[in-house]
A and B are shown apart, each in its own frame.
Chain A
Amino acid sequence: MNVIKIDKKTWTEGIGRLQGFYRLIGPVKDGDFYQFKALEKGESPDFSMLNTRLSPKSIIYPQSEVMFEYSLDETRDDCHVIKEIQVEYSPQVVFGIRPCDAKAFLLVQRNFETPEYKDPYWIRLYETTALIGLACNTPCSTCFCVDAGSGPFNDAGLDILLIDAGEYYYARVNTAKGEKILKDSGWSEETETKDAELAIENLKQAAENRITARISTDRLKEKGVPDLFNAPFWEDVAFACINCGTCTYVCPTCWCFDIQDEVRGTDGVRMRNWDSCMYPLFTLHGSGHNPRDAKTKRLRQRFMHKLKYYVDKYNDGIQCVGCGRCINLCPVNIDIRKICEAMNGFEPEQKSI
């Protein structure tokens, strides 16, 4: 892992050069908020953001994505046969992704790339994308990334981590993909070592000290699923929830989707679209029966999944990277940190089984 120093004066030039090789994506300001967007020629990623309102998950996992196509034209031989679509996957580079959001891809990967089944759509986009992170010198007040297993300077899932050090960026290169990008950019390849690591360490300490939001997750594993499932606090927690689904749509680690057919004339496609466990339709059977027929049950599913089922299944922390989006954007101030505290500290009066 080597560190390179990039003079900010050469920054735009390098971005321009990279545009010749890759499709570039970066945060840009859109109204009052920032969002990830493909960068036009001459456009630079805007690093003045704290973070984007929506997570960058849609770069690898679009909110709507065509899976297959078919024709319903009875005069054609292949009528009604469902076929793969041809898509070009050209290499793309994402600039300015925050370490929490990059780590989120590693969590989501567990879902899309399993020993039994590989989701080709997610995997192809993930493999053709390089992630260049931007360390958080000033984390927001709702971030709890460190307790969630990430951190403002965490390299996990990143090809390169950029650290803003005033006049220049330090670039910590983690992968061969990252090295190639630096080479293509033409930025100085002057390697920094001791001094750079020290400067980075100081910035990291300062950033971590700014994180005041804390959660404890250490006892989630030892709790019983039925105990937490039947805990009395869910009604209270869910009381104000309007099941709007915002928390799931903005979350970098929520991965659920729906599959739908859409037809125009005789041409049809099968699509997948993000879905949300907060909606009654998510689990409604054709018979009318719905195992999650009340909002409390749906809210419980979201948090049980992130803070218990995932923990039990993968034995590697929670399904949350602490980005704080769901806390900031929930219209009724439902706070995953409080729910995590309640779950982690829960002692049933009587064990369920």
Chain B
Amino acid sequence: MENPYLPYPVRIDEIITETEDKNLKTYKLVFLNTDDEEKFIFQAGQFAELSIAGQGEIPIGIASSPSEKGFLKFTVNKVGRVTTHLHNMTVGDIMGVRGPLGNYYPWDRMEGKNVVIIGGGFAFTTLRSSIIYMLHPKNRSRFKDIHVIYGARTPGMLLYRDELTEWEKRDDIYMHITVDATDDPDWKYHIGFVPTITDQKAPEGNADTYAIVCGPPIMIKFTQPVLDKLKYSHENIIMSLEMRMKCGIGICGRCNIGTEYVCKDGPVFTLDQLNRMPKEY
């Protein structure tokens, strides 16, 4: 019998400190067994349990894209027991990955449509995966316009800065990068909160336009009225939720909102679905 709790062994191949406060690091992980890598077939928006012997497991969104082969990437914010331990680990260390878990952004439904990505803070991880995926030469023609509105407190708190700069240069993706505030005179992009920039830059909502929104609760709260004003239907607003998790497969009973287990039936829900669920997240 296959054991769904058994992680695949992986080795840390590279660690990148992403933000100026050093609280966010990206881990590039390589499978010890190539068979395992072949079994790990995922879609942008899914997550995995990072598993550290002696410490425990944490659910983390997959930041690499299905189109990137040979490794997985995760960006981890240091908050508690497992994440702190992970931040002290070094290249070459062995750990585990269990997954892929959960559902993903509705790529089938979004085919042939405009996609507006709205992200704030460090919830940009699976959005990176999505952007890389959509920009891949094999996939780019499957989508119409791509907009990205991404904000952080300061320029130094933005994730994946090199890639953001590269995407800025392209003409097949509209980038709207913003920070809450900065005293950097060379800052070339926007200043202002994500909801404000969304109001100014996001295209009008219609049947052919989807918004994927990931960020801290406060950002989501103020972005929603903007999307309503822009006439996005709630079926076309896609969100990814977080809950405390353990099993990640809908069995330990921990992460439900009403009848739905966020780990298995989510973490991706449309706003329309969320409207019909209890407000308990």
- Show the binding face of A for B, using Cβ within 8 Å: 67-68, 70, 72, 79-82, 84, 111-112, 114, 116-120, 123-124, 225-226, 229, 255-261, 263, 268, 270, 272, 275, 277, 282-287, 289, 291-292, 297, 301, 304-305, 309, 312-313, 353
The reply to whether B94 and A291 contact each other, CB–CB distance below 8 Å, is no
The reply to whether A257 and B53 contact each other, CB–CB distance below 8 Å, is no
The reply to whether A225 and B93 contact each other, CB–CB distance below 8 Å, is no
How many chain-B residues does the 8 Å CB contact rule pick out? 47
> Chain A contacts of B2 at CB under 8 A?
118, 120
Q: Is the interface of B mostly helix, strand, loop or mixed?
A: loop
Nearest B residue (CB) for A284: B244
13 additional contacts, CB 8 Å, given A120-B3, A123-B1?
A68-B6, A80-B9, A80-B52, A117-B250, A118-B2, A225-B278, A257-B246, A257-B247, A283-B244, A287-B79, A291-B280, A313-B259, A353-B275
List residues 231-264 of chain B with CB under 8 A from any CB of chain A. 242-244, 246-247, 249-259, 264
Cα distance A86–B255 when bound, in Å?
30
> Chain B contacts of A114 at CB under 8 A?
250-251
A65 CB to closest chain B CB, in angstroms? 11
> Chain B contacts of A277 at CB under 8 A?
253
Cα distance A117–B250 when bound, in Å?
9
Cα distance A339–B93 when bound, in Å?
52
> Chain B contacts of A257 at CB under 8 A?
246-247, 252-253
Cα distance A70–B95 when bound, in Å?
11
The reply to whether A81 and B53 contact each other, CB–CB distance below 8 Å, is yes
> Chain A contacts of B278 at CB under 8 A?
225-226, 229
Contact check: which of A120, A255, A285 meets B1 at CB < 8 Å?
A120
Contact check: which of A258, A297, A313, A353 meets B246 at CB < 8 Å?
A258
A309 touching B259 in the complex, CB below 8 Å, given contacts A68-B5, A70-B53, A275-B252: yes
> Chain B contacts of A261 at CB under 8 A?
53-56
* Interface membership of B96, Cβ < 8 A: yes
The reply to whether A353 and B5 contact each other, CB–CB distance below 8 Å, is no
> Chain B contacts of A270 at CB under 8 A?
5, 53, 56
One digit per residue, 1 when the CB lies within 8 angstroms of any chain A CB and 0 when it does not, for chain B 266-281 equals 0000000001111011
> Chain B contacts of A297 at CB under 8 A?
280
B252 CB to closest chain A CB, in angstroms? 5
The reply to whether B254 and A256 contact each other, CB–CB distance below 8 Å, is yes
One digit per residue, 1 when the CB lies within 8 angstroms of any chain A CB and 0 when it does not, for chain B 156-195 equals 0000000000000000000000000000000000000000
The reply to whether B6 and A82 contact each other, CB–CB distance below 8 Å, is yes
Contact check: which of A80, A84, A292 meets B280 at CB < 8 Å?
A292
